[in-house]
């Protein structure tokens, strides 16, 4: 972080010295960056296909204002359904992949002793891993 110039920046700098706060801050920042990356990728694909936002909305069967808001909002937070519709309209697929251990920790997973291999969790050896509540369904 650069030198804090305002009271808010000094407050954030001081709060980030607390390890629990820092962990939550970094996790939130990574979520935001991940969403921004997805939105940028969708918009770049839209541009490469030379589609207007209105045409993309028609192809995805979404209201035009949803598309405009998504690509112009400072903090977009689209639903998974919207992302799937847009990806399909842009001839893209959505995939997921396991997080590396350092990032998984930020989301609350203790992967000590786990060996995460493969392109998804099916087939991954999670022996010795402690996963947050609900994550065990992905390990089956």
Of the candidates 116, 84, 87, 124, which has an alpha carbon nearest to the alpha carbon of residue 99? Answer: 116
Q: In the chain, which ranges are continuous DSSP H helix? A: 7-15, 19-48, 53-60, 64-72, 80-89, 101-106
Beta bridge partners of 115: 125
Q: Global pTM?
A: 0.62
Mean pLDDT, the chain, whole residue set:
79
Q: Phi and psi for 34 in degrees, rounded to 5?
A: -65, -45
pLDDT, tens digit (0-9, with 9 covering 90-100), for 66-90: 999 999 988 888 999 999 999 999 9
Pick one of 1.10.260, 1.10.287, 1.10.357, 1.10.3470 as the CATH number of 7-89: 1.10.260
Please check the confidence at residue 114 and state whether its pLDDT lies above 60. no
Q: Is 138 exposed, middle or buried (0-12, 13-18, 19+ CB in 10 A)?
A: middle
| Domain ranges for the chain | 7-89, 98-140
């Amino acid at each position: 972080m650069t030198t804090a110039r305002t009271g808010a920046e000094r407050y954030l700098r001081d709060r980030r010295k607390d390890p629990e706060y820092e962990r939550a801050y970094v996790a939130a920042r990574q979520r935001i960056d991940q969403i921004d990356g997805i939105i940028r990728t969708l918009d770049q694909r839209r541009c490469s296909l030379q589609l207007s936002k209105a045409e993309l909305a028609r192809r995805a069967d979404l209201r035009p204002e949803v598309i405009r808001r998504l690509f112009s909002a400072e903090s977009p937070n689209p639903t998974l359904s919207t992302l799937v519709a847009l990806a399909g309209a842009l001839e893209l697929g959505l995939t997921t992949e396991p997080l590396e251990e350092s990032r998984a920790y930020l989301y609350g997973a203790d992967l000590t002793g786990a060996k995460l291999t493969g392109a998804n969790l099916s087939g991954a050896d999670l022996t010795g891993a402690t996963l947050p509540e609900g994550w065990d369904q992905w390990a089956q």
